[in-house]
Amino acid sequence: MAPDEPLPVRQNVPVPRIGETLRDARIRQGVDIGEVERATKIRAKYLRALENEEFDLLPGPTFVRSFLKTYAEHLGLDARMLVEEFRTDYEGLPDEEPAPAFGSRAPQGRRREPVRYDRRTPATGLIVAGVVSAVLVLFLVLGLTGNGDDEPSGGGGTDARQTAEQEREDRRARTRERERAERRSRPKSVSLRIIPEGPTYVCVDRGADRDPIFEGSLTSPRTFRGKRVRLNLGRPSAEVRANGRRVDLGSDGRAVGLAFTPAKRPRPLPLNERPCV
């Protein structure tokens, strides 16, 4: 290269993460998790954990490196590169600070003196003043609630009770009508729309005993419907809406598993209960 010739500018090309590399290779080859489990003798839940980068679900770093090498070699990938990437990105992290020993005592500060209460008998004058005040309050209450000499007794109280009872009945009727209207407006099924920001692994079914209705890498928005819908989402950066309402997927960056039913909040699913696991 001539001395005056400018050096080429290196483009920053995003490198796929470990889990995405494994999952994309498996999907391109048309292989499901069950086939990989039978060929590598690695349990399906650990294979899913590798694809979702949930390495803390495996017994330890030694197992992660061994399973990662076996899985990558089965898919024809560069196993050494993926293992080195795992070591660089995860094994180099500092361990969490150990929790203090159970039963350890905090440093003692200045000892508080016990509170002492004065148990002396109240003064006689205070007792007399309290009794007089109570009598005055009693007379005041009787004067406010008693009927005047110029007001007839009898019918007025009955009318007031009837009016109050009618108002209570009207409120109960309005409450019942509002509850009926809410029940009529509740959705009878789930409409689940997934809007990925990029290629995202998605598995959807309609129950634990049902076959998946979709499994693969989703690159464009898609809607799934059913009385019950379960979702296994590989990348929580996608937007998910259930019956028009946006679903909170958290911010920890891990894969998400949720179960949806009409008129109820989404229920989180543990890893071993998610679709396609």
The domain boundary, picked from 54, 73, 91, lies at: 91
Rounded Cα distance, 140 and 117, in Å:
35
Mean pLDDT, residues 183-192 taken together: 85
Residue whose C-alpha is closest to residue 234's, from 272, 267, 274: 274
239 burial (CB, 10 Å; 0-12 / 13-18 / 19+) is: middle
Give the list of residues 6+ apart from residue 76 with CB closer than 8 angstroms, or none.
Answer: 25
Which residues, 6+ apart, have CB-to-CB distance to 33 below 8 Å?
Answer: 26, 44, 47, 48, 276, 277
| Residue 13 in domain | no
Question: How many domains, in total, are found in the chain?
Answer: 2
User: In this predicted model, what pLDDT tens digit does every residue of 1-45 receive, in sequence order?
Assistant: 444 554 444 444 445 689 899 999 999 999 999 999 999 999 999
User: Residue 114 domain-assigned?
Assistant: no
What would the pLDDT profile of 145-161 be if each residue is shown by its tens digit? 555 444 445 555 678 88
If pLDDT is split at 50, 70 and 90, which confidence band does 120 have?
A: low
Residue 47: which residues within 8 A CB-CB, separation 6 or more? 33, 36, 37, 40, 67, 71
Residue 126 domain-assigned (yes or no): no
Rg (CA), the chain: 35
Q: Which of 91, 112, 132 is the last residue of a domain?
A: 91
Quick check: helix, strand or coil at residue 262? coil
Domain of 209 in residue numbering reads as: 190-273
- CA nearest neighbour of 18 among 72, 63, 58, 96: 72
Measured CA to CA, the distance from residue 98 to residue 175 in angstroms comes to 55
Tell whether 149 is covered by a domain: no
| Domain final residue, candidates 48, 73, 91 | 91
Question: What pLDDT does 116 receive?
Answer: 54
CATH number at residue 85: 1.10.260.40
In a domain, 87, yes or no: yes
pLDDT in tens, 203-248: 999 988 888 999 888 989 999 999 899 999 987 778 999 998 999 8
222 within some domain: yes
pTM of this structure: 0.40
The region, left, alpha or beta by phi > 0 then psi within -120 to 50, assigned to residue 201 is beta
Question: Does residue 10 fall inside a structural domain?
Answer: no
d(CA 243, CA 45): 30
Residue 209 lies in a domain: yes
